[in-house]
Structure 1
Amino acid sequence: MASDAELAAMRQAITLSSFGLGTTSPNPPVGCVILDRNGVTVGTGYHRRKGEAHAEVNALKAAGAAAQGGTAVVTLEPCNHTGVTPACRQELINAGITRVVISIIDPTSRGDGGAAVLAAHGIDVETNVIPNETLTVLGPWLTATRRHRPHLTWAYALTNKDSHQANEQLTADLRSRTDLVLSDKTLEEGVPGGHAPEHFTLPDDLDGELRPWLSACYTTGSRTILAVGAHHSGALHDNFDCVDEIVVAVEKASPTGGLAAATADLTPAGFELADISPGSTGVRVRLRRPRSSQARAGIAEPGMH
């Protein structure tokens, strides 16, 4: 069982992993914390983008010799293959780590999986540590990976006024967590220039049917897409099962009518209320499909990043 120090370290690792949102794809956003043999944090790291050091390597570099005999706390199972970068499980072994605490097993892991190889080398391995909390960052990547189609968020403003400014604010607030932003017929990176160009490109064609287009986005490296504006409702209507999350900016209205009445049909079938954030001019409502029908299927599967 994970100790209190390890649970705190895992939550720190989850927070660190979020710094990679919008730039790691097609790799997952991963965070890692190294504890010394006394349970004190001596190194932290996260994965920024494919082709660069993984979270474990960055954390081990920060820890230096203090990692010897210590514990690695990581949000996703250390990879078990040598690709663009070395295998993380071997880096942990070489550093003298004696225990590895993992939140989620990697469903794309090759061979026996990093956790199995670590255990075979006599390292104490614990898995499935607070996975629901880790899914707050890793969930969209897992969903996209499982079905080979990007996680799609639809955001729009529900307002009696000009919605253009509200949509621009939504884009500004949400774009840094996503790979692609689709607005009208314009497609761009969520974080301009954030991805490794040799591993990520924009799809050539914005026209055509939604499902093949989403598949093309996945093939070119995208794992998350943000579509902004109510005008997307037409394209999404017959493919609403492709939508994983909805964010609606709802303007404040009188208690007896107007937008207060319009919110009656705010939650479509198949979605649950995930969060409501009040602001000075209204509220932002976040809806998502239940995790049981999304990425949770990836938690218990045998475990590449």
Structure 2
Amino acid sequence: MASAVELAAMRQAITLSSFGLGTTSPNPPVGCIILDRHGDVVGAGYHRRKGEAHAEVNALSTAGAAARGGTAVVTLEPCNHIGVTPACRQELINAGITRVVISVLDPTSRGDGGAAMLTAHGIEVETNVLPDETLTVLGPWLAATRRRRPYLIWTYAYDNQDSQPVNEQLTAELRCRTDLVLSDKTIEEGVPGGHAPEHFTLPDDLSTDLRPWLSACYATGSRTILAVGADHSGTLHDNSDCVDEILIAVKRTPPTGSLAAATADLTPAGFELAEILPGSTDVRVRLRRPKPSP
């Protein structure tokens, strides 16, 4: 069972993993913490983009010799194959790590998986540590990987009189965690120039047929997409099962002038209210699909 120190380290690793959102695709956003044999944090790292060092390697580089005999706490199972970069499970073995704490197993693992290989080398492995918390960052990538189409977020402002400034602010806040931003007639990177160009390209313009377009986006490296505004509302409504999350900015109104907000269609069929985030000028309403029953 993970110790209190390891649980705290996992939450630090989850936070670190979020630094890679918007640039790691098609790779996952992963964070890693290295604890020495006394339980002190001696290394930390995250994965920034494909082709660069993975989270474990960055954390081991920070830790140096202090990693020997220590514990690696990582949000996703260390990879078990040699691709653009070396296999992370081998890097952990070479560094003398004696225990690995993993939050979520990697569905793309090849062979027996990194966890099994670590165990085979005598390293103690614990899995399924704080997975729900890890999925706050890793969830969209996992969903996209399992169904082979990107996680799609739709955002718009509910206020016909003054929606543009609110929507621009909301888009600016959201785009840094997505691979693509789809607006009226433009498709661009969420983080301009953030991805490795040899592993990521922009797709063609969206046609009326959303499903093949999403598959094409996945094939060119995208795992998350932000659709902005009402320009594509017809296509998105007709293919609402392809939309994973909706974020609506509702402008604040006086206590006696809230009829428009109260009668707005804020809960399309198939979605449930997930979160409400009050701001100074508006309220953000986040909708998502219900989690499947266990």
| CA deviation string 1:53-97 (max 9, x = no partner) | 000000000000000000000000000000000000000000000
Runs of 4+ in 1 over 6 A off after TM superposition: none
Q: 1:158-200, CA deviations, whole angstroms, 9 ceiling, x for partnerless residues? A: 1142322222111111100000000001000000000000000
Which blocks of at least 5 consecutive residues in structure 1 are unaligned? Answer: 297-305
Q: Aligned ranges for residues 15-34 of structure 1 at < 5 Å?
A: 15-34=15-34
For residues 238 and 271 of structure 1, the distance between their equivalents in structure 2, rounded to whole angstroms, comes to 15
What is the CA–CA distance in structure 2 between the aligned matches of 1:79 and 1:17, rounded to whole Å?
16
1:133-172 to structure 2, matched below 5 A, reads 133-172=133-172
Q: Is the 8 A contact 1:253 1:259 kept in 2?
A: no
The answer to whether the Cα contact below 8 Å between 2:179 and 2:225 also exists between their aligned partners in 1 is yes
What's the TM-score, normalizing by structure 2? 0.97
| Aligned amino acid, residue 274 of structure 1 | A
Q: Would you say 1:55 and 2:73 are equivalent positions?
A: no
Alignment map for 1:34-73 (pairs within 5 Å) = 34-73=34-73
Percent identity of paired positions between Structure 1 and Structure 2: 81
The yes-or-no answer on 1:226 pairing with 2:226 is yes
Per the alignment, residue 83 of structure 1 pairs with 83
* Contact 1:101–1:127 (8 Å) recurs in 2: yes
Query: Are 1:104 and 1:128, in contact at CA under 8 Å, matched by a contact in 2?
Result: yes
Closer/same/farther in 2, CA of residues 105 and 148 from structure 1, 3 Å limit: same
Instruction: Show the counterpart of 2:180.
Output: 180
> After the TM superposition, which residues 235-246 of structure 1 pair with which residues of structure 2 at under 5 Å, given as runs?
235-246=235-246
**For residues 290 and 43 of structure 1, what CA distance do their matches in structure 2 show?**
37
Matched with 2:260 is: 259
Contact 2:250 2:261 in 1 (8 A): no
User: How do residues 87-166 of structure 1 correspond to structure 2 at under 5 angstroms?
Assistant: 87-166=87-166
Deviations 1:255-287 (A, max 9, x none): 344333224x31123222222111111211111
CA distance in 1, matches of 2:259, 2:159: 9
The secondary structure found in structure 2 opposite 1:222 is coil
Q: Distance in 2 between matches of 1:244 and 1:112?
A: 31
> Equivalents in 1 of 2:132, 2:160: separation in Å?
37
1:252–1:259: 8 Å Cα contact kept in structure 2?
no
Give the TM-score normalised by structure 1: 0.93
The separation in 2 between residues aligned to 1:70 and 1:182, in whole angstroms, is 45
Range moving further from structure 2, 161-170 or 88-97: 161-170
Aligned residues: CA RMSD: 1.3
SS where residue 42 of structure 1 aligns?
Answer: strand
| Higher alpha-carbon deviation: 223-232 or 155-164 | 155-164
Answer whether contact 1:78 1:88 (CA < 8 A) is retained: yes
Whole-angstrom CA distance in 2 between matches of 1:12 and 1:60: 15
Query: Partner amino acid for 1:103?
Result: S
User: Are the counterparts in 2 of residues 182 and 225 from structure 1 also a CA contact under 8 Å?
Assistant: yes
Residues in 1 aligned to 2:291 and 2:15: alpha-carbon distance in whole angstroms: 20
Distance in 1, Cα, partners of 2:86 & 2:226: 32
How far, CA to CA, are the matches of 1:59 and 1:66 in structure 2? 11
Match for 1:188: what amino acid?
A: E
SS at match of 1:177: coil
Asked whether the 8 Å contact 1:160–1:259 carries over to 2, the reply is: no
- Alpha-carbon distance in structure 2 between the residues aligned to 1:215 and 1:47: 25
Give the number of the structure with larger relative contact order, counting CA–CA contacts within 8 Å between residues 6 or more apart: 1
Q: Which amino acid is the alignment partner of residue 261 of structure 2?
A: A
Q: How far apart, CA to CA, are the structure 2 residues paired with 1:279 and 1:261? A: 18
Residue type at the aligned position of 1:262: T
The one-letter code matched in structure 2 to 1:54 is: H
SS of equivalent to 1:291: coil
CA contact (8 A) 1:254 1:260 kept: no
Q: C-alpha distance in 1, partners of 2:73/2:123?
A: 13
